[in-house]
Structure 1
Amino acid sequence: MDLANEGDETTSLVGAYDEYYQMGVRSLMEKENIKKVPNKYILSEAERPNYNLEINNTNLINLPVIDFAQLQASNRSLVINSLAKACQDYGFFQLVNHGIKGDVIDRMKDASKRFFELPSSERSKYMSNDMCSPVRYGTSFNQNNDKVYCWRDFLKLSCHPALSQNFPHHWPSSPLDLSEEGSQIVVMNWYPACPEPELTLGMPPHSDYGLLTLLLQDEQVEGLQIQHQGTWLNLKPIPNSFVVNVGDHLEVSSC
């Protein structure tokens, strides 16, 4: 089966291949000789990345760096002010000295890598088009409706850890159902090498819908961009740091 983008004939067959594409980019690359990006992944010209935007000092963004350990120090109020300003001015900051050991981070990265290296038959056990599934392996945010897919595969795990006994008594007593619903999720993204990176994106421009996102960058492959004052800028990773992103819910609730 040749899924390369080669004229009208391939274009007319794209719909027939939708189910095949939903198996993920890695499966596509494992089973096919991909030399061109299939139409299902090609963005419109207006949405395509600026492939000429190279990583250099002129388009790098230096986000505020928040030292978590300093929140316990005598200058706590200064750090809190810096944190508030970072959220207001950028909506992002880089978090260091967060207390998560380097070997834990390394094992988390390794576990993610090993999952995506599993055979397709094993990975596909967790494939789901149900966006609310507690465990979901997929390739696009909404594979049922998305006209163009992202050039990525992901594994999403819903997490609901037991609440600490130290905090619930501080919560408002009314309404009674205030604390009944909430969620924490872990998402592992895998972005395979692309034969035509100027035509597609691993993740399109977006904002996160939750309160906060803690993002662990791959230090070996740069590619994360943040929009600041209308311009997309590259973010260079700091080893063992997290990029913290203010989500839509926190933005709305803090207005």
Structure 2
Amino acid sequence: MKVREKNRGERKKMEKFPVVDMGKLNTEEKTSTMEMIKDACENWSFFELVNHGISTELMDTVERLTKENYKQCMEQRFRKMVASKGLETAQYEINYLDWESTFFLSHLPLSNISEIPDLHHDYRKAMKEFAVELEKVAELLLNLLCENLGLEKGYLKKVFYGSKGPNFGTKVSNYPPCPKPELIKGLRAHTDAGGIILLFQDDKVGGLQLLKDGLWIDVPPMRHSIVINLGDQLEVITNGKYKSVMHRVIAQRDGNRMSIASFYNPGNDAIISPSPALVKELDETSQVYPKFVFDDYMKLYAGLKFHAKEPRFEAMKAMESNIPITTV
């Protein structure tokens, strides 16, 4: 009976997963749409965007070319890795690696797309176009968050800027069929280190889950949507008003799941700290998050990605005295 009640609870939460229609921001429904974004940021840290302005033709092209690239260039390498590590015959839970095939693209401050091997011309061109469109969506969202938080327009972009502009890059992943999904995660649970994450995920093969109220909740696949989630830096800047949440990918026995996650992050030398305007709202006993240089956080995160975020924040707080005083 308890299991059935839990499952009903999970289904109920799934039904309420926030889906934001960006097209309504230019209509009389803007207020309710902004309220939906606000609620999603405060209570979910995840939401799904539709009518976001990126053409469906471009998204279809990116999906087709990503899946073709995996079959032609990456599938055989992945199979060799699986065989070399004996993953198909694993008898115990694997906690040291993920069942995924990935490569990374950098867009800002410098692009490396021309340097990535095995990407043919059409794929490079499509990914460049897609990155430009995603950057627009990311910067629009940052301004919408500013509006909801009562911050001046452009505040978050300015904080992220540093001296050379934001870091913007894409992790292209495929999650092939896994013979033992009960023992191997597609991607182990973690919070994202950066700012705002924009995900174009497979609409046929699911697996992405977030942790909410102690339950793992499916992020529903939806054609031509962009899934948004908030990273650790927005938790710090909002002084905990918005929080990053643990999420993971469950490997599937059938189907190859495509995941294109783009990360709009602060520049390496950007100084991250709680917004003074949001700290003023608190009483003297309320927690204030640390102040740090983003690159220092990333160096720490590299070895602790799959651990709780709170010790990372504490470690950054211990380094605060080394941070120069600046105003934004």
Question: TM-score category by the smaller chain?
Answer: 0.5 to 0.7
Name structure 1 gaps, 5 residues minimum.
Answer: 1-51, 125-145
What SS class does the counterpart of residue 48 from structure 2 fall into? Answer: strand
1:29 corresponds to:
none
Deviation sequence 1:144-169 (CA, Å, 0-9, x none) = xx9711111111101127999xx9xx
Match 1:59 to one of 10, 21, 45: 10
Structure 1 residues 24-173: aligned runs within 5 Å:
58-60=9-11, 61=14, 62-119=16-73, 148-160=96-108
Asked if the contact 2:50/2:226 (under 8 Å) is kept, the reply is yes
**TM-score scaled by length of structure 1:** 0.60
Partners of 1:114 and 1:242 in 2: CA distance: 21
Separation in structure 2 between the aligned mates of residue 198 and residue 179 of structure 1, nearest angstrom: 45
Report the 3-state secondary structure (helix = DSSP H, G, I; strand = E; otherwise coil) of the residue aligned with 1:95: strand
Instruction: Confirm whether residue 239 of structure 1 aligns to residue 223 of structure 2.
Output: yes
* 1:234 partner letter: D
Matched residue SS, 1:74:
coil
Tell me the equivalent position of 1:193.
177
Q: CA-atom RMSD, angstroms? A: 3.5
Distance between the aligned counterparts of 1:109 and 1:76, measured in 2?
31
Contact map agreement 2:46 2:228 (CA 8 A) in 1: yes
Q: For each residue in 1:9-42, what CA deviation from the matched residue of structure 2 results, as whole angstroms up to 9, or x when unmatched? A: xxxxxxxxxxxxxxxxxxxxxxxxxxxxxxxxxx
CA distance in 2, matches of 1:238, 1:149: 28
Code of the residue aligned with 1:160 in structure 2: it is: L
Q: Distance in 1 between matches of 2:33 and 2:178?
A: 41
Q: 1:116, 1:123 within 8 Å by CA — same for their partners in 2?
A: no
Structure 2 CA distance for aligned equivalents of residues 82 and 57 of structure 1: 24
8 Å CA contact 2:107, 2:169 repeated in 1: yes
Aligned partner letter, 2:25: L
Structure with the higher fraction of residues in helix conformation? 2
1:224/1:148 CA distance change after superposition, 3 Å: same
Higher RCO by CA contacts (8 Å cutoff, separation 6 or greater): 1
What is the TM-score normalised by the length of structure 2?
A: 0.47
Q: What secondary structure sits across from 2:64 in the alignment?
A: helix
Q: Distance in 1 between matches of 2:166 and 2:29?
A: 32
Letter matched to residue 214 of structure 1: L
Tell me which residue corresponds to 2:204: 220
The answer on 1:184 being equivalent to 2:168 is yes
CA distance in 1, matches of 2:66, 2:49: 22
Task: For residue 200 of structure 1, give the secondary structure of its aligned residue in structure 2.
Answer: coil
1:201 positional shift: 0.5
Partners of 1:222 and 1:171 lie apart in 2 by: 35
- Deviation track 1:215-249 (CA, whole Å, cap 9, x = no partner) reads 12211111111110111112222221111101111
Which deviates more from structure 2 when the two are superposed, residues 77-86 or residues 222-231? 77-86
Of residues 207, 219, 232 in structure 2, which corresponds to 1:248?
Answer: 232
| C-alpha distance in structure 1 between counterparts of 2:171 and 2:233, whole Å | 19
Change (3 A) 1:88 1:119: closer
Percent of residue pairs identical: 30
> For 2:103, what is the secondary structure of its paired residue?
strand
How far off its partner does 1:121 sit? 11
Please give the alpha-carbon distance, in whole angstroms, between the structure 2 residues aligned to 1:64 and 1:121. Answer: 34
Contact residue 115 and residue 123 of structure 1 kept, 8 A: no
CA distance in 2, matches of 1:73, 1:201: 42
SS of the equivalent of 2:170 reads strand
> Which residue identity does 1:118 align to in structure 2?
Q
Give the secondary structure class of the aligned counterpart of 1:154. Answer: strand
The CA deviation at 1:99 is: 1.2
Letter in 2 for 1:155: F
d(CA) in 2 for partners of 1:202, 1:71: 35
Question: What residue ranges of structure 2 are gaps of 5+ in the alignment?
Answer: 79-93, 110-131, 137-142, 144-153, 240-328
TM-superposed deviation, 1:203: 0.4
